[in-house]
A and B are shown apart, each in its own frame.
Chain A
Amino acid sequence: MLLEVSNVVKHYPITAGALFKHVVGQVRAVDGVSFDLAAGETLGLVGETGCGKSTLARCLAGLHPVTSGSVRFDGTDITNLPRRRMRPYRRDIQVIFQDPYGSLNPRRRVGSIIADPLVIHRVMSGEQLRRTVQELMERVGLNPEHYNRFPAEFSGGQRQRIGVARALALRPRLIICDEPVSALDVSIQAQILNLLKDLQVEYGLTYLFIAHDLSVVRHISDRIAVMYLGKIVELGAADPVYDRPRHPYTNALLSATAVADPDEAQRRRRVVLTGDVPSPIDPPSGCRFHPRCPRAQDICSTEEPLLEGTEGTEGTAACHFPMEVVV
Chain B
Amino acid sequence: MTLTEIRPGAVGGGPVAGRGPWQLAWRRIRTDKVAMVSGAVVVLLCALALAAPLIAAWTGHGPDEQFRDTGITAQGLPVPPNGEFWFGTDRLGRDLFVRVLYGARVSLLVGVVATGMAALVGVVVGLLAGYYGGAVDTLLSRLMDVVLSFPYLIFAIAVVSIAGPSLTATIGVIAFYSWAAIARVVRGQTLALKEREYVEAARSMGAGDLRIMFVDILPNLLAPVIVLTTLLVPAAIVFESTLSYLGLGIVPPTPSWGNLLSEAQGFYRVAYWYLGFPAATLLITTLAFNLLGDGIRDAIDPRMERLFSRRRRTRKGA
Contacts and interface: CB of A to CB of B under 8 A. Distances in A.
Interface of A: 58, 61-63, 83, 86-87, 90-91, 93-95, 97-99, 102-109, 116-117, 120-121, 131, 134-135, 138, 141-146, 148-150, 152-155, 157-158, 161, 163, 166
Contact of B10 (A107, A143, A148, A152): A143
Contacts of B200: 58, 63, 97, 103
B3 A131 contact: yes
A164 to B, nearest CB: 12
26 contacts: A90-B205, A91-B206, A94-B204, A95-B201, A98-B197, A103-B197, A103-B198, A104-B201, A105-B216, A106-B21, A107-B222, A109-B18, A117-B205, A121-B205, A131-B3, A135-B3, A138-B10, A141-B7, A142-B10, A142-B12, A145-B14, A146-B18, A154-B12, A155-B11, A157-B11, A158-B11
Given A95-B204, A104-B201, A153-B19, 12 more contacts: A61-B204, A98-B197, A106-B220, A107-B21, A107-B222, A135-B3, A138-B10, A142-B11, A143-B6, A146-B12, A146-B15, A158-B11
Contacts of B219: 105, 107-108
Contacts of A145: 6, 14-15
B11 A150 contact: no
B40 to A, nearest CB: 28
Contact of B201 (A103, A106, A131, A161): A103
Contacts of B1: 138
B197 A102 contact: yes
Contacts of A158: 11-12
Contact of A152 (B21, B202, B220): B21
Contacts of B317: none
Contact of B196 (A102, A120, A166): A102
Contacts of A102: 196-198
A149 B16 contact: yes
Interface of B: 1, 3, 6-7, 9-21, 196-198, 200-208, 211, 215-216, 219-220, 222
B198 A150 contact: no
Top 8 A-B pairs, shortest CB-CB distance: A107-B219, A102-B197, A90-B206, A149-B18, A103-B197, A143-B12, A148-B18, A105-B198
B8 to A, nearest CB: 10
Contacts of B211: 120
Contacts of A98: 197
Contacts of A163: 201
A121 B21 CA distance: 28
Contacts of B6: 138, 143-145
A38 to B, nearest CB: 22
Nearest to A131: B3
Nearest to B219: A107
B253 to A, nearest CB: 48
B204 A87 contact: no
Nearest to B205: A117
A15 B135 CA distance: 17
A63 B203 CA distance: 7
A267 to B, nearest CB: 38
A161 B11 contact: yes
B220 A150 contact: no
Nearest to B220: A107
A86 to B, nearest CB: 7
Contact of A116 (B12, B205, B222): B205
B21 A90 contact: no
A32 B107 CA distance: 66
A257 B197 CA distance: 29
A116 B197 contact: no
Contact of B3 (A58, A108, A120, A138): A138
Contacts of A108: 215-216, 219
B1 to A, nearest CB: 7
Contacts of A94: 204-205
Contacts of A58: 200
A120 B208 CA distance: 8
Contact of B9 (A97, A141, A150, A153): A141
